[in-house]
Amino acid sequence: MFNVIEFLNNNNISYRREGKNTSVGWVNISCPMCDDKSNHGGFNTRTGHYNCWKCGWHSTQEIISSLLDISQKEASEIEKEYSVSASIRQIMNDGEEKKISSSEKSLTLPSEFKNLLEMHKRYLSDRNFNPDMLERKYRLLGTGFAGKYKFRIIVPVFYKGKIVSYQGRDVSGQSQTRYKACPRDEELIHHKDLFYNLDNVRNRRAIIVEGVFDVWRLGDGAIATFGISTSLRQVVVAKKHLDYAAILFDNEPAAVMSAETFGNRLNAIGIKVDMIQINHNYKDPSEMPQDVADKFMKEVLS
């Protein structure tokens, strides 16, 4: 499927998702095939197909050729470049799928990472979490007053029971970097090539959220992308582990757009996808009361 959002953004082509002459599930542009002055051209975000409400259907190749003023042959190559399925096949052909799943070792964590201290537990309690339960279930660690990761909750990232990476969440409120990841050259698997909590998916069904706090609130069956940006390698991992995904990012526009792009990529490789939202009383899933979160998970994944 043609990844229209990525194509338009990379080529600085203006588009609209809402307002006059737009519909849900469409990305609208000023049609280059007619005298359109008001965004009548549209790409369907589910299929990637193009239609103009003034001059009708056109192939994606035709539209690319006209928008970029290039030949049909060049447009065909660009269409392939922005094809999600083709990109995923390339990753698999390059052996990247095996790299993601082949780690037999477990990462040795720095000695400065100890059990949670009172300041870490207080930080979690203030956010209505049970610190002892989280420490036990997710094997959380903490740091003290010194070192590169000082004043942080350390969150190990597991894959197939092995620690392959980690990130540290600042609890002091003084650091400009809230999350500090394991150095790239020390990770056994780059954390952005995986999902947090993937080992706790059951029946190949999951809710995909942004961060680890969201996972802690929702529990087993919730996995996190480590932020709103996603990677094609995460799509490959999803293909290996999931048949169904409900995507639940924050309600801010950038997160919604990223969620839709990721959802389209998953849908293009055969994963059934639902885009869902929580009650607007909560900024993100981590703010939900625990009983509400538990009920929510049952409703979505049952």
Strand duo 244-247 + 205-209: pairing: parallel
Residue environment code for 224-243, b if the CB has 16+ CB neighbours within 10 A, otherwise e: bbbebebbebbbbbbbebbe
Q: 10-39, pLDDT tens digit by residue?
A: 888 999 888 887 887 789 999 999 999 889
- Which of helix, strand or coil describes residue 240? helix
Say what the pLDDT of residue 95 is: 57
pLDDT digits (tens, 9 = 90+) for 257-267: 888 888 888 88
**Which residue type, as a one-letter code, is found at position 191?**
H
Q: Can you name the residues that pair with 2 across neighbouring β-strands?
A: 83
Does 129 have pLDDT greater than 70? Answer: yes
* Separation of alpha carbons 61 and 70, rounded Å: 10
| The pLDDT of residue 19 | 82
> Quick one: average pLDDT of 271-288?
90
What percent of the chain lies above the pLDDT cut of 70? Answer: 93
Using a CB cutoff of 8 Å and minimum separation of 24, what contacts does 88-95 make? 88/232, 88/235, 88/236, 88/239, 88/269, 91/232, 91/233, 91/236, 92/236
Question: CA-CA distances (angstroms) from residue 153 to 3, 118, 207, 212, 244?
Answer: 37, 11, 24, 11, 31
Average confidence score pLDDT of the chain: 89
Please tell me which residue, 264 or 102, carries the higher pLDDT value. Answer: 264
Q: List, for residues 207-256, the tens digit of each pLDDT value.
A: 999 999 999 999 999 999 999 989 888 988 998 999 999 999 988 888 88
User: What pLDDT, on a 0 to 100 scale, did the predictor assign at position 257?
Assistant: 82
CB neighbours of 15 closer than 8 A, spacing ≥ 6?
Answer: 8, 27, 28, 29, 39
Kind plus residue range of the DSSP H or E element containing 180: strand 179-181
- Report pLDDT for 2: 80
